[in-house]
Amino acid sequence: MTNMAQIGMNEVENYGSGGSNFFALKNDKDVAQVRFMYDTSADLSGYALHEIEVDGKRRYVNCLRTYNEPIDNCPLCAAKSKIQVKFFVQVYDIKDQIVRVWERGRGFGQWISGLFTRYNPLVGAVIEIERNGKAGDKNTTYQPFPISVDDTKLEDLPETVNPLGSIILDKTFDELEFYVKSGFFPVEGQQRGATNTAGDTPRRRAVPAEDETPRTRRQAF
């Protein structure tokens, strides 16, 4: 089945409510100057995904269906695992001269749309981002301040990272179906329905209950 994790920036509203380092401003009034590594809004995609537990860690995994396809097209959707929409935004950290990934929620498309309107290509603009909110504040926002514009192009900067297959686990229908039933992914060569060769019993249920509080930190824009 075709992987459906990646979605267009303007499609995020159709869905209900980790080479590179992660970008973060940890404290109130922290700032950083970056270049967003995109030319136009068409270059920025969001991802429809699920959050699951793998080997005791919370991980994102691709959702296999679009919002208007049957729920059974994705085993995790069929198991009532909530769909999340995330942007894994590629930014070039000017101070450290490396590419970082900024994990953002569904509201990021609206947040960055004004910058795309004003700067084409956007990568040619140096943007200072300021955090407004103390550490742990769920109402934290980020303010962009354009600093300068030049002729920098994407090819002048380091390679970006593909979130799918790195930050987001890229699994097939059969692998996700196996996970829903067992709570773990099969090792290479293990057949569907086979027992866990290690004899281990999964310690946690495969899909979080709908009333559980997500463990990832959520921040407003």
**pLDDT(210) > 90:** no
Residue 63 lies in a domain: yes
- Tell me the per-residue pLDDT of 65-91, one tens digit each, with 9 for 90 and over: 999 999 999 999 999 999 999 999 999
**pLDDT(37) > 50:** yes
Number of structural domains in the chain: 1
User: What is the CATH number for 17?
Assistant: 3.90.198
Residue 193 lies in a domain: no
- Tell me the per-residue pLDDT of 186-199, one tens digit each, with 9 for 90 and over: 886 554 444 343 33
Q: Which residues pair with 35 in a beta bridge?
A: 92
- Tell me the per-residue pLDDT of 156-179, one tens digit each, with 9 for 90 and over: 999 998 999 999 999 999 999 999
Residue 190 lies in a domain: no
Task: Give 126's pLDDT tier (boundaries 50, 70, 90).
Answer: very high
Q: What is the pLDDT of residue 8?
A: 52
Q: Which residue matches tokens 């060769």?
A: 197
Residue 78 lies in a domain: yes
Q: The domain containing residue 92 runs over which residues?
A: 6-182
Q: What is the pLDDT of residue 197?
A: 37
Residue 210 lies in a domain: no
Q: Are 174 and 192 in contact (CB under 8 A)?
A: yes
Residue 206 lies in a domain: no
Q: Are 22 and 100 in contact (CB under 8 A)?
A: yes
- Tell me the per-residue pLDDT of 43-56, one tens digit each, with 9 for 90 and over: 999 999 999 999 99
**pTM > 0.85:** no
Asked if omega into 146 is within 30° of 0 (cis), the reply is no
Residue 21 lies in a domain: yes
Residue 215 lies in a domain: no
- Tell me the per-residue pLDDT of 87-124, one tens digit each, with 9 for 90 and over: 999 999 999 999 999 999 999 999 999 999 999 999 99
Q: Are 144 and 115 in contact (CB under 8 A)?
A: yes
Q: In angstroms, rounded to a whole number, what is the distance separating the alpha carbons of residues 164 and 45?
A: 11
